[in-house]
Structure 1
């Protein structure tokens, strides 16, 4: 009886060991699979180069909510025949927030200055009257010397009518900066105050 009992105990012990090894093997396989999947995921991530983590990522320029209530600097019409007609043809209005209006005095724009170029199609009635049509897009300039140091201290964005996401590419932004660089002596800004003779207007 003692020998038989010992045999049963041995078989039970071996079975227990087998079950333990099976569980351990399953756990090991699960961990190994997780590590492999993690390795694939990391391999799929773009490799970060030292010092270049944000090289091609342009800082965001927010949509300028409420800009029609800012100061209106000027309006202009770009008609057919002008080199910029395809992109900027139509009637545009320029708005400046308080900081940008102050900078318009002498061309020294403080950080926080924002200018908006609001562009509309035009409607020609045929009797000499040209009216404002649907909005095409708005262009935005934001002054932040640190964030936009690479583009003369100004950040650029363009929002299609009814949209709130910037559609400019890095190449577009570089083009904006290159164009406005011709006005470096005027703070990189083309628009000037048209009502300087009015009381309270910025002075030269």
Structure 2
């Protein structure tokens, strides 16, 4: 088994068995999720689900990754997502690429700049029953950030028919 697959297996097993830091969040916990202390090991090696660009006050670019459970659910159209699925959203400010623009002969290229935050949605229908079966956590500079699970969930309610996930799997 490759190192990546071993890491994914450990993350999936840890989530299912409740041994990851995410397990410290109670189902009805609408307070800050500051009890979560670490991002899942190996999340940067998860598979790409999609990319996005947000304008307005966020003005960032994003990569949406999923652990093996989440990616399989996306690929197979499984709704609701099974417990143990984790979706990560990595965001960066986007900046012009002078190097690329010189190559293209005009200003048209943007690349990832300074990271803004990393967010995770963790599926556990029992633990997070009050928020559609999903736990929400955000990290800024690698540290847990203050988040209100109820406020996060409220934004996801309009996509209830997609199990509260904004992101669609990109072909």
Normalised TM-score (structure 1): 0.59
| Residues 1:191 and 2:167 aligned together | yes
Contact 1:102-1:109 within 8 A present in 2 as well:
no
Change (3 A) 1:75 1:55: closer
Change (3 A) 1:134 1:55: closer
**Structure showing the higher helix proportion among its residues:** 1
Kindly tell me the number of residue pairs found equivalent between the two proteins: 132
CA root-mean-square deviation: 2.1
Give unpaired runs (5+ residues) of structure 1: 1-53, 80-84, 196-204
Structure with greater Cα Rg? 1
Matched with 2:87 is 115
Distance of 2:72 and 2:108 partners within structure 1: 37
Deviations 1:35-88 (A, max 9, x none): xxxxxxxxxxxxxxxxxxx86656655512211211101111123xxxxx32x3
Q: CA deviation at 1:150?
A: 0.8
Q: CA deviation at 1:169?
A: 3.3
| Residues 1:179 and 2:158 aligned together | no
Change (3 A) 1:131 1:150: same
Give unpaired runs (5+ residues) of structure 2: 1-27, 102-106
Matched with 1:128 is 108
Of the two structures, which has the highest relative contact order with CA contacts closer than 8 Å and spacing of 6 or more? 2
Normalised TM-score (structure 2): 0.69
Displacement over 6 Å in runs of 4+ = none
Q: CA deviation at 1:89?
A: 1.9
Q: CA deviation at 1:164?
A: 3.1
